[in-house]
Amino acid sequence: MLLSAVFLAPIFFSWSAVAVFFLLTGASLLLGHSVGFHRRLIHRSFDCPKWLERTLVWIGTSVGMSGPLWMIRTHDTRDWAQRQADCHDYLAHRQSMLRDAVWQLHCRLDLQHPPAFDYGEAGKDSFYRFLEATWMAQQIPVAALLFMGGGCSWVVWGICVRVSISVTGHWFVGHLAHRTGPQSWLVKGAGVQAHDVPWAAIPTMGEAWHNNHHAFPGSARIGLHPDQSDWGYAFIKLLQKLGLAWDIILPHHPDRAAAVTQMASALQPERASPITMRGI
């Protein structure tokens, strides 16, 4: 995908193809990756009709990172490891940017004694097992529609460029989010602490407020401060207004007072947060 994007995108450049790229990238990251995969399938931070969940998960699969079950396993392995006092460099993003890029984008970590996983309802869902087995092939129907709409130009920009940017961008923001940036919370006993990446808030649909997410992993709302954009949560609230989402979990719902410490910088009046330790 990356080679095709680098060599073919300039040849098949058109403004309509660029517009398709931005539209599909934004829509798939918002609906699929942020809301479908992360906040619904992995953390189950809200409830919705099964048909809607499956639609969002299919969109998440079309982002091009992996199938739904592998996404759960990768996410939960990393979360489990980062909560330990000692975390492997691969899972902590502790190495240099170049080495971490090679590891995360081109390698796989095989553990001799991996933790056991229970995929729950997702593991029993035949549709999700189908997506897991065919996740790469899910680009084919998207490519067919793009070809009918705008020919090769739309396919190159709507598939190759989109997938390359989404996958590489996911690693890049994740790398930064575990190395440097603002922090409002510290997770007690965790070997890896998260940071926020403010400039990436809109491109990631709110996922870049990663320090907040480490503190309240089950919350559907990740952008906690008034100045923290969170389009993923805004979309969930829209679904709620339409009667398509309910039982939305917010930071103050789970009891996290014993697990996290709020930093003094988060208590400044100009950054007044709806979540404080007293509020918890």
pLDDT, one tens digit per residue, over 30-57 is: 999 999 999 999 999 999 999 999 999 9
Residue 269, in any domain of the structure? no
Does residue 277 carry a pLDDT above 50?
no
Does residue 254 carry a pLDDT above 80?
no
Residue 219, in any domain of the structure? no
Residue 194, in any domain of the structure? no
pLDDT, one tens digit per residue, over 178-203 is: 999 999 999 998 999 999 999 999 99
Average pLDDT, stretch 6-18? Answer: 97
Residue 134, in any domain of the structure? yes
Residue 275: the pLDDT is 54
Does residue 109 carry a pLDDT above 60?
yes
Mean pLDDT of the residues in the chain: 91
Cα 107 to Cα 76: distance, rounded to the nearest angstrom:
18
pLDDT, one tens digit per residue, over 110-120 is: 888 877 878 88
Element (H, E) at 74: helix 68-82
Strand spans (E) along the chain: 185-187, 260-262
Average pLDDT, stretch 242-262? Answer: 87
Average pLDDT, stretch 123-147? Answer: 97
Are 250 and 220 in contact, with CB atoms under 8 Å apart? yes
Q: Which residue has the higher pLDDT, 275 or 131?
A: 131
Residue 143, in any domain of the structure? yes
Residue 209, in any domain of the structure? no
Does residue 6 carry a pLDDT above 80?
yes
Q: Smallest Cα–Cα separation from 266: which of 195, 178, 208?
A: 195
Cα 197 to Cα 176: distance, rounded to the nearest angstrom:
7
Residue 264: the pLDDT is 64
Query: Is this structure's pTM higher than 0.95?
Result: no
Are 60 and 163 in contact, with CB atoms under 8 Å apart? no
Longest dimension (CA), the chain: 58
Residue 266: the pLDDT is 56
Does residue 276 carry a pLDDT above 60?
no
Residue 199, in any domain of the structure? no
Domain containing 148: what range? 2-182+230-252
Please report the DSSP string for 117-170 in residue order. Answer: ---THHHH-HHHHHHHHHTGGGHHHHHHHHHHHHHHHHHIIIIIIHHHHHHHHH
pLDDT, one tens digit per residue, over 222-244 is: 999 889 999 999 999 999 999 99
Average pLDDT, stretch 147-166? Answer: 97
* Position 257 confidence tier, pLDDT thresholds 50, 70, 90: confident
Residue 47: the pLDDT is 97
Provide the number of structural domains found in the chain. Answer: 1
Residue 50, in any domain of the structure? yes
